[in-house]
Amino acid sequence: MAAFVAVLLCSNLIGVHKVSYANLPFYGEYIFGAGVLFFPISYLFGDILTEVYGYARSRKVIWAGFGGLIFASVMAYVVTSLPAARTMSLGQIDALNLIFGQTPRIVAASLIAFWVGEFVNSFVLAKLKILTSGKWLWMRTIGSTIFGEMADSLIFYPIAFFGTWSNEQLISVMIGNYFIKVLWEVLATPFTYVIVGFLKRAEQEDHYDRDTDFNPFTLET
């Protein structure tokens, strides 16, 4: 849980404003947000938690991450709202405000997209585990990520940047980031197998959510 929250906070605070690109063969300039290189790790944690411990315990971790994001947003608002001492230059003040002075739109977009995306990811994986009788872990992790990251991307980018970015950049970054997130999950599949296998043996745990209450607003196990 600590690692999950740490990855979530870092990916939302570092690189969220940076738009980068890579020149790909036969495609050309591929535009993506820099934060996307690390954010999918949170989905990897979510997959492992749900696969081993079940939806109910993963739900608690998601709420812990949600609380961490709220605290980080409040702290960023307070820090950037405080008057700057005369020892700080205008350049330092502007840089600090640019990095941490998130608008209410971005904060709302981050919180809503994270909450919906993570719960969609956990729900789909838990249901697929029952449908497949615990087989084909790769299909469950990739399939849940496809739906979870789709929900996250479709919510975050329009809420956060519509009207401030051009429609071309908004769509390009949204689509580009989505495919990077899914590709990240595909590449991480071997590591997922290793970690899941280790935890199941060490914890003597392999939960199936057959009788689970999937209500995201309860914390009962």
Show the domain range for 82.
2-203
The answer to whether position 208 is within a domain reads no
The answer to whether position 165 is within a domain reads yes
The answer to whether position 188 is within a domain reads yes
How far is 149 from 71, CA to CA, in rounded Å?
23
The answer to whether position 217 is within a domain reads no
Give tens-digit pLDDT for 101-131.
776 788 888 899 999 999 999 999 999 999 9
How far is 173 from 62, CA to CA, in rounded Å?
25
**What dihedral do alpha carbons 129, 7, 14, 158 form, nearest 10°?**
30
How far is 133 from 123, CA to CA, in rounded Å?
15
The answer to whether position 219 is within a domain reads no
The answer to whether position 138 is within a domain reads yes
Query: Can you give the pLDDT at residue 221?
Result: 67
The answer to whether position 160 is within a domain reads yes
Return the CATH number at 175: 1.10.1760
Query: Can you give the pLDDT at residue 15?
Result: 67
- Taking Cα atoms as reference points, which of 186, 221, 157, 215 lies closest to residue 47? 186
Give tens-digit pLDDT for 53-91.
999 999 999 999 999 989 988 988 898 999 999 999 999
Q: How many domains does the chain have?
A: 1
> Widest CA span of the chain, in angstroms?
64
The answer to whether position 215 is within a domain reads no
Strand partners, 77: none
Task: Please say whether the beta carbons of 97 and 76 come within 8 A.
Answer: no
